[in-house]
């Protein structure tokens, strides 16, 4: 038996370039645009839709064409998420109820924002001061608790009676200033 040897020929391409074309290099502006795009996507993934929307909007005018369509899609998604997350209220009392539900869910910062919004529009809303006092008590800020509760009682003396029975003020019970505020006649 005769052995035959198989020879495999490999073809090697030359590094020649066709006339008029340049080798593709990484374009610095594209790299920057991609970095901005990725950071905006991360903002969106973190739930920061307002910031993501602003970032996408800023880069839309200067972005490469192939990214522009994606950026527009993400802008629309951000707008939908922002609109979906907004809650509208028919009255301050309704907003107060919502703020208290947030407080009960442990979302203190959001609750504080809603209570402050109420006071920004109506500084005579004693119930909003009372809500801020409860929030301060729960979060351990006795000074703020006393300030807000003092104002709530000044505006509506019935808040004094309500605070006496409110278990949300249990951490304040040992504070003599709190006792003086709730029982001035003693």
For residue 60, the tally of other CB atoms under 10 A from its CB is: 14
Where are the domains positioned within the chain? 28-85, 92-182
pLDDT in tens, the chain (186 residues): 555 555 555 545 545 555 555 544 457 777 888 888 888 889 888 888 888 888 888 887 777 777 778 888 888 888 777 776 567 788 899 999 989 988 998 999 999 999 999 999 999 999 999 999 999 999 999 999 999 999 999 999 999 999 999 999 999 989 999 999 999 886
- Using only C-alpha atoms, the chain has a radius of gyration, in whole angstroms, of 32
Count CA within 13 A, CB hemisphere, residue 73: 7
Architecture of domain 92-182: Alpha Horseshoe (1.25)
Model's pTM, two decimal places? 0.56
């Amino acid at each position: 038996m005769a052995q035959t040897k198989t020879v495999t020929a490999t073809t090697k391409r030359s590094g020649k370039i066709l006339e008029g074309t340049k080798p593709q290099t990484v374009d610095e502006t594209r790299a920057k645009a991609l970095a901005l795009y990725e950071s905006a996507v991360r903002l969106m993934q973190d739930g920061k839709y307002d910031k993501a929307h602003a970032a996408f909007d800023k880069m839309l005018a200067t972005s490469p064409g192939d990214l522009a369509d994606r950026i527009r899609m993400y802008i629309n998604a951000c707008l939908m998420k922002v609109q979906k997350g907004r809650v509208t209220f028919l009255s301050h009392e309704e907003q107060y109820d919502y703020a208290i539900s947030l407080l009960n869910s442990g979302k203190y910062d959001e609750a504080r924002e809603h209570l402050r919004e109420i006071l920004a529009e109506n500084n005579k809303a004693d119930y909003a001061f009372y809500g801020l006092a409860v929030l301060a008590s729960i979060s351990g800020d006795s000074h703020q608790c006393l300030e807000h509760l003092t104002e709530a009682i000044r505006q509506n003396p019935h808040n004094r009676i309500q605070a006496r029975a409110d278990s949300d003020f249990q951490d304040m019970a040992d504070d003599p200033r709190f006792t003086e505020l709730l029982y001035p006649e003693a």
